[in-house]
Structures are given as C-alpha cells and as structure tokens.
C-alpha cells in the first residue's frame, strides 16, 4: 500500500462553517430560529419550489410525505427494488405496503415499464428515487403516475442540485425529500428537507414535524399573548432541524455550485481512465437526466458477487475505501419474510452484486484518482475479472 487511506467521501468544512456556528451559539437561539429559515429558503430557491421544510433526516422527510399525502393502511406504494431501504420503509411506517419494481440495469433508476407493471388496484403512490445523484426518467414516470392517479414522492436524498431536462428535482412530484447526511454533497451532519409546490402540504408537513402544532414554530411573536400555546389538531412528531445544523447548511448551500463542478470534473476523469480498464463499466447517464455524482458507482461486467467482493477486498488492502452501490431491497429479511422473490427483480439483484462505489470527495487530486484506477487494474488482474 502506498500513500494514506483514501476515504469513500468526506465533508468539506472550513472557517465559514465555524464562524456561522459561532454566531448561532452567541445568539443563544439554537433551534427553530432564523438559520433554519435561511437554510430552507436556500434549498427552495435552488430546487425551484416555493416551500422547503427542514427536519432531522431524509427518512423523516419521506415518512411525513406519506402521512401528509394521506397514504395509509390498505394502500400500496411502488418503490424501486434497488435503493436505500428507507425508500420502502416510508410506506411501511404509515401502515401501507411497499411493492417493488425493477430498475434499469444501465442507470440503476426505476424502469418505467416495470413501474407500470407493478401498479394494482390498491396502488396509491410511487417513490421515485434519483439514485446516486442521477435524475430518474421523470417525464415517462410522471405520465404513468398521472394515468393512474398516483401521488409521487421524489426520493432526492442524493440529488441536491440535480435536474431532469433542466427542471430541478424535488418539485416535479407532490413532494421531494433531500438528505444532508455526511455522505451527501451538502451536509448538516444529519438532516433532511421536504420540498413541495403545495402550500397545504407544506403546512401539514411542518405541523406534523413539530408535534402536530398549527402555526409557525419557534418562540412566540411579540404580539402573541403569553399564555397562548398554539393549536394541536393531530398526532405529531418531533422531527425538527436545529439552527446549529441549519448554520452548516447555509454555508454548504453557498458552496454547492463549486462542489458540483468539482465532482463533475472528477467523474469525467474517472470516465476517461475507466475506458482503458476492461471488465469495468463507468456510470451511464440517460438522456435529459442530470447527474451530480453524489456517488460514483461502477459495475463489474464479468463475474459474480464473489469476484466483485475480491476486488473490493483488494482495494481495502491498498487503503482505498469502497462499498456496494446500495441494497436490492427485496433481499432484505424484513421483506423476504413476506415471500417476496428477489429473482423477480434481476436488474436490482445484479446491481447489488456487481456495483462498486469509488472514492469521490472534495479536494480529491488526479494522483488520488490514478491510485484508485491503478489498484483496480491490479485487482482485476488478480481476480481474473479483466480476462476473456
């Protein structure tokens, strides 16, 4: 092994984030305050929607989207079979059932034909995932959803700044759900946002995330009577984002364009270098589908899961961190107990078995990328994956 360890990713923080957090600490207003409102406004403006509601995670954003849309017991929700598990759990949280549809082998995103085939009499909604930062095929998917009268939740956890046909993601469906986990391009440590064009959905989601209280969260306005405590109409949750988290987000959102440009530059460099490595396939991007490369996920063309694992173990021994793309969700025990057959979703299973996420992070150098590709070449030769 040469050089230090190469992480899969790492956040980009500097003095600006520290200064913003110091200002929040000095103000003594550390939650439900002006920083959260600023962060929400920045996300809404970037994604081209009138409403953005900050909360503690994208999981919470998905959960509250389902509740606000009225999804519940007796309903089915179509979910891509290759995604992070919470895309499917969001339906289960509210008593509905996740029904899976396969993905396109080339892009890992929901296959429109498989989506339509999965629709049944009880289908009420679809979770459209913009996986790894690449927009799903929204025109085709929205046409099908409208045909059957389905609600559309965009799982844009990986896709801040992404777009489809120059339209930002997060505003094409009923809601958009974004993550600001440390693996994401913009991070608040942990955190999420729901975006929507609907004033009523925004009001309900904000209320549900603040214990079910009606009205604007935060300390009472100067004109409010000191004994008034708001209205409580339904069961709610405490899923709010703090101003400390939002302060990170405010600075990070201001850096978004520069972060995206850097990731695209690294992705193009990887593309060119991988073209010279037999047996490995760089990410494919569908027409009109923007890609922010939140994750740079390649595919091992030849060989089974064991060979992919050997390659990843080789890179780990070289000090290079990798991971599979994500889950083939029907394989997970929670869903397998229902008798769901993973083999019904061959593209999703193939994606889980053959995918490798390569390191991509702010400040990554050409030498870092050459080290990754060099290790991949040696790993392919060692495993035989590049032969014949």
Would residue 105 show up in a list of annotated catalytic residues for this protein? no
Query: How deeply is 239 buried, as exposed, middle or buried, from its count of CB atoms within 10 A (0-12, 13-18, 19+)?
Result: buried
Half-sphere exposure of 213 (CA within 13 A, CB side): 12
Q: Is 79 helix (H, G, I), strand (E, B) or coil?
A: strand
- Strand segments, DSSP code E, in the chain are 51-55, 76-80, 82-83, 97-101, 123-129, 151-155, 163-164, 167-168, 175-179, 192-196, 213-214, 231-232, 280-281, 296-300, 327-328, 355-358
Gyration radius from the chain CA atoms:
22
Query: Among residues 5, 147, 184, 255, which one is catalytic?
Result: 184
Location of structure tokens 């990843």: 312
Between the CA of residue 73 and those of 96, 97, 146, 237, what are the distances in Å? 5, 8, 22, 19
Secondary structure (H, E, C), 238-251: ECCCEHHHHHHHHH
- CA 43 – CA 53 distance, rounded (Å): 9
What is the token pair recorded at 130?
A: 């913009």
Q: What are phi and psi of 358, to 5 degrees?
A: -95, 155
Q: What are phi and psi of 271, to 5 degrees?
A: -55, -50
Active site residues: 184
């Amino acid at each position: 092994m040469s050089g230090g360890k190469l992480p899969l990713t790492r956040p980009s923080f500097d003095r600006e984030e520290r200064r913003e957090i110091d200002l929040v600490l000095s103000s003594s207003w550390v939650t439900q305050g002006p920083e959260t409102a600023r962060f929400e406004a920045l996300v809404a403006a970037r994604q081209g929607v009138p409403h953005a509601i900050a909360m503690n995670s994208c999981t919470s954003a998905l959960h509250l989207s389902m509740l606000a849309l009225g999804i519940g017991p007796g309903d089915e929700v179509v979910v891509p079979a290759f995604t992070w598990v919470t895309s499917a759990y969001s339906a289960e949280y509210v008593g509905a059932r996740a029904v899976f549809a396969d993905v396109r082998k080339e892009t890992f995103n929901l296959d429109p034909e498989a989506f339509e085939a999965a629709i049944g009499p009880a289908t009420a909604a679809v979770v459209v995932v913009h996986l790894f930062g690449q927009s799903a095929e929204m025109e085709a998917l929205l046409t099908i959803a409208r045909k059957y009268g389905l609600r559309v939740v965009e799982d844009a956890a990986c896709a801040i700044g992404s777009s489809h046909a120059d339209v930002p993601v997060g505003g094409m469906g009923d809601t958009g759900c974004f993550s600001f986990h440390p693996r994401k391009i913009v991070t608040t440590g942990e955190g999420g946002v729901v975006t929507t064009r609907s004033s009523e959905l925004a009001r309900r989601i904000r209320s549900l995330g603040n214990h079910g209280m009606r009205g604007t969260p935060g300390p009472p306005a100067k004109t409010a009577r000191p004994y008034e405590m708001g209205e409580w109409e339904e069961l709610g949750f405490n899923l709010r984002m703090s101003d400390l988290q939002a302060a990170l987000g405010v600075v990070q959102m201001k850096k978004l364009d520069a972060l995206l440009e850097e990731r695209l530059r690294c992705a193009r460099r990887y593309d060119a270098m991988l073209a010279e490595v037999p047996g490995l396939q760089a990410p494919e991007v569908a027409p009109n589908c923007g890609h922010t490369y939140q994750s740079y996920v390649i595919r091992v063309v030849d060989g089974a899961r064991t060979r992919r694992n050997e390659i990843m173990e080789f890179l780990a021994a070289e000090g290079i961190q990798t991971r599979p793309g994500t889950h083939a969700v029907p394989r997970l025990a929670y869903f397998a107990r229902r008798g769901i057959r993973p083999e019904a979703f061959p593209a999703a299973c193939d994606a889980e078995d053959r995918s490798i996420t390569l390191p991509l992070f702010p400040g990554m150098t050409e030498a870092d990328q050459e080290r990754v590709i060099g290790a991949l070449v040696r790993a392919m030769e060692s495993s035989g994956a590049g032969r014949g």
